[in-house]
Structure 1
Amino acid sequence: MVSLIEELEAREAAARARVEELEAEIAELTSRLEGEREAWSRLRITRETVAEVITDLGGSGSAGPVAERPEQESPVEPEVRMVGAIMVPHWREGLSVDVLPDVYRDIVEVVSDASGPMQAKQIVPRIGLPAVTGKIEGTRGKLKRLVERGWLVEDQPGRFAPARRGPARSR
């Protein structure tokens, strides 16, 4: 006959084994999820860029599937004109950073949290990108777009700050 302590130890060992197995599954799923999020983000950015190029070219080309799929991941006010992709809307009263695509939202939040104006090379590592020339230039382009749309200001060349202080997000 097995003692009570031995039975409890056996159950504890079995529970520990199940926990370790589940933790390994979670680690595997987390890794797969991050990979899929990265792929999704790249596709979304590509779609946005193509839509902007089509719009810049006059919007009269064959936009194909881009113009046919107006997917919206974030709630956007009806007045914001969408051309088949999530774009950076012009800032207006009552609009929060929640309407921005993830990377733009991250940039605005980093700049808003800073004590003063920031350069692109300071922002890149804070949004999780390697501080290499390509990423810095890409981020600089996004910063310029945020300035054009009224989310940020560039009072000094290459130095970006929030266009307005106060509650930037509605989370």
Structure 2
Amino acid sequence: MPSVLGVLEKRERVALARAEELRSEVERLQAALAEAEDAARRAVIAREETVEALAEAAGAVDAPVEVPAAGAAGPRVKVPLWCEGVGTGELPLDCARIVALVERDAAGGGEGVRARAMREHLGWASSDAKEQAARFRAKRLVERGWLTEQRPGLFRPRTA
């Protein structure tokens, strides 16, 4: 008959081996997730750079920039440059709602708004694509002077 301590030691070794296997799997998944997120960021940057390059080539640097609407293949909306006297009424509805959310957060002492909160505020489905769409709009609002991005992914109202 095996000793009780021997049985417990064997269980412990098996549990530790399983924990190490799972730890390795988590590390592999985290690396894969980081690669996928990096690929998504590069795709967003490539798209933004392409839109800007096309706008420059067309001589429309100060013209409103088109931003994809809620659906990736849907219609595009125009985001005008911010200037004194231009209100959020000039913005597309989703963009105006994002600016209002960011301003409300700042008025409440918040540290800034992330794309996930914007997606939720807009009532969009919970998906990475919709979160990327919200982030793309926020970044376009930064480029056009409506918002600032103090830290990556953290949006605040424009500074006066």
TM-score by length of 1: 0.48
Q: Secondary structure at the match of 1:94?
A: coil
CA contact (8 A) 1:55 1:83 kept: no
Which of 66, 89, 92 in structure 2 is aligned with 1:101? 92
Q: Secondary structure at the match of 1:91?
A: coil
Structure 2 residue 55 is matched with structure 1 residue 56: yes
**Matched residue, 1:17:** none
CA distance in 2, matches of 1:138, 1:128: 13
CA root-mean-square deviation: 2.9
**Matched residue, 1:143:** 138
> Percent of aligned pairs with the same residue?
31
Report the alpha carbon displacement of residue 131 of structure 1 after superposing the two structures with TM. 2.2
Deviations 1:106-136 (A, max 9, x none): 1111111113201001111111111210000
AA aligned opposite 1:56:
A
CA distance in 2, matches of 1:54, 1:137: 21
CA distance in 2, matches of 1:56, 1:125: 31
**Matched residue, 1:81:** 63
Structure 2 residue 154 is matched with structure 1 residue 159: yes
TM-score by length of 2: 0.51
| Alignment gaps of 5+ in structure 2 | 1-47, 67-75
Deviations 1:19-77 (A, max 9, x none): xxxxxxxxxxxxxxxxxxxxxxxxxxxxxx9xx579437239xxxxxxxxxxxxxxxxx
Greater helix share, structure number = 2
Relative to structure 1, the CA distance from residue 83 to residue 159 in structure 2 (aligned partners, 3 Å threshold; closer, same or farther) is closer
Greater strand share, structure number = 2
Q: Secondary structure at the match of 1:87?
A: strand
Relative to structure 1, the CA distance from residue 82 to residue 120 in structure 2 (aligned partners, 3 Å threshold; closer, same or farther) is closer
